[in-house]
Chain A
């Protein structure tokens, strides 16, 4: 187990370095001129040569690219995520202020997806092609096709239309103001949770159907165990492994999905910050936020892989 953990962590570090290079390439090298990205094509033409040179020097953009890359990585390692070009607050502070909200949404969404997806899958898999199975499959197929942010807009609209209700606009901490915090978080969490739940339900259903056909399940039934404990003790734990892996892949769905969904709900979380950065063409904030989201995604998947290895000795001893 120890060597597996070490190997997985080493791969994780390599991946994060690779990710940082791609982020840097996309956001620093691709645009050609970062000033164009910052000021927009029209704003850029209004700048004089001297102003351009001054901005470039100020932002450290006149250094060679390799040096810029190492500056950036060095800053991140020192914990300095820079500041927005348009806002007073530093990116680090912004992440501390807005991050918890998005983290809450993510955790709740994953919980909802399991709480909804797994029971639906069990009902479906135990009676394949029954009415319940067909209904649940219909909904899971539907939810794979519904864009989360649109579903969110519909919820916001329906609440406004029929109840005149709108979630509070300002951020609220879980600890000082739990009621407002819940109102902020619950909508995006439901939308993202159901979207993921559809995948989880489909995966868990097919995985369970496969496991139920295994010999050891038949043996368990043959030795006289009744249906329930067989499912609960023998089939379900083994069927869950692929679902856990899927859940890790779907973390990306939650992280990325939080951007348009938070925009749809107007939730003041990190996803909304990313939307602001895109709208204001704030390359530096974008660079750090993209990197942050990807690192979180990579680390969550390492965690998932280690969980799987812990649960499944076949992987550990390879």
Chain B
């Protein structure tokens, strides 16, 4: 072990698709059991996250009322036995709207992470692997993108493209690209010097094959850590966009829209209209953040017990760079 030592921020893992696995399902079961044993708190919040996703899928079945239906006999009613979370100024049931709001939040967050973080990761993979001029140009572009505070860039893009679910996803996805690019690039840079990659190259494997078969699998762990952490950030940005009126347009219930609406419900906003959507955002973000922490602890033990959070990952990179 004198020849190389993984010296970048993220360590190297044994390949995830290891040989001699008895069966995929049993391996999954084992992994899950290990997860629960090693970080019970994260496992609990992982279950919460799963429940929230289930709630979003089954929203029409769970919600007691139609989220868009106004009941003019019950306008701005505080919580009671009929409407557990009260009603808004045109008599829509807050509980149903909070439940349906999870759909918008999760669609946008998952969509943005799938597009943005993945695109960034692939970009980072290519720029780290090829290096040279392509890498230099890529790094500059990524730096330009990172020179915008997330929310401001997302706001500008969402405003320019006009309101809609798709545009909000694109807007948030673009702000996610630099993070994926940076992290995966640094992993790839350290990987490509390793002897097994050189061996593959010596055997005459093409660049595409080396990237896909030998480097990509090693990037899955950092990617997963990155993606779960980004989900929480994406949810907060989505809510902020909704709150500022450039999110998914109004009749659709989203948590951000509901909070924005509550400010129009009179001089003193009714507390139940403010409280519940915010609690929903907080719990969802908390769930994804802590799940991400747990995944990081398992996949990346060197960061265990260390600081979490995106900004912190970014700061560590800057210090290392």
| A joins B in a complex | yes
Is residue B243 contacting chain A, with contact meaning CB distance below 8 A? yes
Can you list, as one digit per residue, whether each of A240-258 has a CB less than 8 Å from chain B (1) or not (0)?
0110011001101101110
When the two chains form the complex, which single residue of A14, A18, A26, A264 contacts B157, counting CB atoms closer than 8 Å?
A26
A244 to chain B, nearest CB (A): 9
Is residue B32 contacting chain A, with contact meaning CB distance below 8 A? no
Q: A294-B147, A297-B147 in contact; A203/B319 too (CB < 8 A)?
A: no
Q: Which residue of A lies closest to B293 (CB)?
A: A141
Is residue A147 contacting chain B, with contact meaning CB distance below 8 A? yes
CA distance A274 to B241 in the complex (A): 12
Is residue B78 contacting chain A, with contact meaning CB distance below 8 A? no
Query: Chain A binding site: helix, strand, loop or mixed by DSSP?
Result: helix
When the two chains form the complex, which single residue of A41, A151, A245, A260 contacts B240, counting CB atoms closer than 8 Å?
A260
B311/A199 in contact, CB under 8 A: yes
When the two chains form the complex, which single residue of A15, A22, A157, A202 contacts B309, counting CB atoms closer than 8 Å?
A202
Q: Which residue of A lies closest to B286 (CB)?
A: A145
For B282, the chain A residues whose CB sits under 8 A away are: 142, 145-147, 150
CA distance A283 to B315 in the complex (A): 33
Binds A, one of B54-62, B88-96, B116-124, B271-279: B271-279
Q: For chain A, which range describes its interface: under 10, 10 to 19, 20 to 34, or 35 or more residues? A: 35 or more
For B157, the chain A residues whose CB sits under 8 A away are: 26, 30
CA distance A69 to B286 in the complex (A): 43
For B159, the chain A residues whose CB sits under 8 A away are: 27, 37, 278, 281, 283, 286
A153/B259 in contact, CB under 8 A: yes
When the two chains form the complex, which single residue of B143, B243, B307, B315 contacts A245, counting CB atoms closer than 8 Å?
B315
When the two chains form the complex, which single residue of B271, B274, B319 contacts A150, counting CB atoms closer than 8 Å?
B274
Is residue B50 contacting chain A, with contact meaning CB distance below 8 A? no
B151/A249 in contact, CB under 8 A: no
Q: Which residue of B lies closest to A251 (CB)?
A: B149
CA distance A30 to B167 in the complex (A): 11
Is residue A183 contacting chain B, with contact meaning CB distance below 8 A? no
In chain A, positions 282-301 with a C-beta closer than 8 Å to chain B are 283, 286, 290, 293-294, 297-298
Can you list, as one digit per residue, whether each of A167-204 has a CB less than 8 Å from chain B (1) or not (0)?
00000000000000000000000000000000100110
CA distance A281 to B162 in the complex (A): 9
Is residue B269 contacting chain A, with contact meaning CB distance below 8 A? yes
Is residue B160 contacting chain A, with contact meaning CB distance below 8 A? yes
Count of chain B residues with Cβ under 8 Å from any Cβ of A? 56
Is residue B152 contacting chain A, with contact meaning CB distance below 8 A? yes
CA distance A259 to B156 in the complex (A): 12
Is residue A13 contacting chain B, with contact meaning CB distance below 8 A? no
B274/A203 in contact, CB under 8 A: no
A297/B148 in contact, CB under 8 A: yes
Q: A145-B282, A249-B318, A290-B152 in contact; A22/B144 too (CB < 8 A)?
A: yes
Is residue A23 contacting chain B, with contact meaning CB distance below 8 A? yes
For A246, the chain B residues whose CB sits under 8 A away are: 311-312, 315
B274/A157 in contact, CB under 8 A: yes
Is residue B168 contacting chain A, with contact meaning CB distance below 8 A? no
Q: A30-B161, A147-B239 in contact; A203/B312 too (CB < 8 A)?
A: yes
Query: Chain B binding site: helix, strand, loop or mixed by DSSP?
Result: helix
B135 to chain A, nearest CB (A): 16
When the two chains form the complex, which single residue of A206, A250, A259, A298 contacts B307, counting CB atoms closer than 8 Å?
A206
A51 to chain B, nearest CB (A): 21
CA distance A157 to B316 in the complex (A): 38
Can you list, as one digit per residue, whether each of B135-172 has a CB less than 8 Å from chain A (1) or not (0)?
00000110111011111110111011110000000000
CA distance A85 to B187 in the complex (A): 48
Q: A255-B152, A257-B151, A293-B149 in contact; A31/B274 too (CB < 8 A)?
A: no
For A114, the chain B residues whose CB sits under 8 A away are: none
Q: Which residue of B lies closest to A290 (CB)?
A: B156
CA distance A132 to B140 in the complex (A): 43
A23/B240 in contact, CB under 8 A: no
A210 to chain B, nearest CB (A): 8
Q: A15-B143, A147-B278, A290-B152 in contact; A157/B319 too (CB < 8 A)?
A: no
B97 to chain A, nearest CB (A): 16
A237 to chain B, nearest CB (A): 15
CA distance A83 to B22 in the complex (A): 69
A249/B314 in contact, CB under 8 A: yes
What are 21 contact pairs spanning A and B, CB under 8 A? A14-B140, A26-B153, A141-B286, A142-B282, A144-B309, A147-B282, A150-B274, A153-B262, A154-B275, A157-B268, A157-B274, A199-B312, A205-B307, A242-B319, A246-B312, A246-B315, A249-B315, A252-B149, A253-B311, A260-B244, A275-B245
Sort A-B residue pairs by CB-CB distance and give the 3 closest, nearest first. Answer: A256-B149, A252-B149, A18-B144
A sample of 17 more A-B contacts (CB under 8 A), given A145-B289, A255-B149, is A15-B143, A15-B144, A18-B143, A18-B144, A144-B308, A147-B282, A147-B285, A150-B274, A153-B262, A154-B275, A199-B312, A202-B307, A245-B319, A252-B150, A290-B148, A294-B148, A294-B149
